[in-house]
Structures are given as structure tokens and as C-alpha cells.
Amino acid sequence: MSAFFKKILFGETKPRGAWFRYGFLVLILGLFVFHALDSRSSRYYLAGFIVPSMLLINHLAFHFRWPTRITLLLRVVALAWVVFGAILIFTQ
């Protein structure tokens, strides 16, 4: 495994203030609520959850401390969801 992937998958979480971590988490959850209430009848209803879910998974994976196995799992899922989400966004 290259050093780049080891740094991404096993690297230590960079310390950020609690205001940033929890404030951004509230903002992301607000995006979910806004989209759920705003576009119930739209045909793009499910597609509107792609970006907030990408933000949520990445934020949880890279800005919070978890046990090693959970960190690895969250980071792999986050990177895979970014690739899959980008494919979904750009092919619609």
C-alpha cells in the first residue's frame, strides 16, 4: 500500500475545535432537513441527498476520533461514496 493511502486511511485526525466539529455537523443535518422539507414532490428527491450524505460521512470519518477499525471502515466508505456519488451526480 502506498504511503499516500496509508496517510489517508490510517492518519491521525487533525485536532479541530469543538465549535467546528459540532457546528458543521449541525449544518450538514440542517441540509438534510431543508432538502427533505423543500422538495418532497420533486422527481430529484433522492438525488438531493447525495451531497449531504457525502459531507456527513466524510465529516464523521475525518474530523472525529473513533476506534481504529471504525475509523478505517468509515474512511473507506467515505472515499467509496465520494467516487460513487460523483458518478451519480455527473451522469444524471
Domain boundaries, the chain: 22-91
Cβ neighbours, 10 Å, residue 26: 9
C-alpha to C-alpha distance for 50 and 55, rounded to whole angstroms: 9
pLDDT tens for each residue of 20-46: 889 999 999 998 888 888 776 666 666
The predicted pLDDT at position 56 comes to 93
Nearest to 58 by CA among 77, 40, 41: 77
pLDDT tens string 44-76? 666 778 888 999 999 999 888 889 899 889 989
Q: Tell me the mean pLDDT in the region 78-85.
A: 92
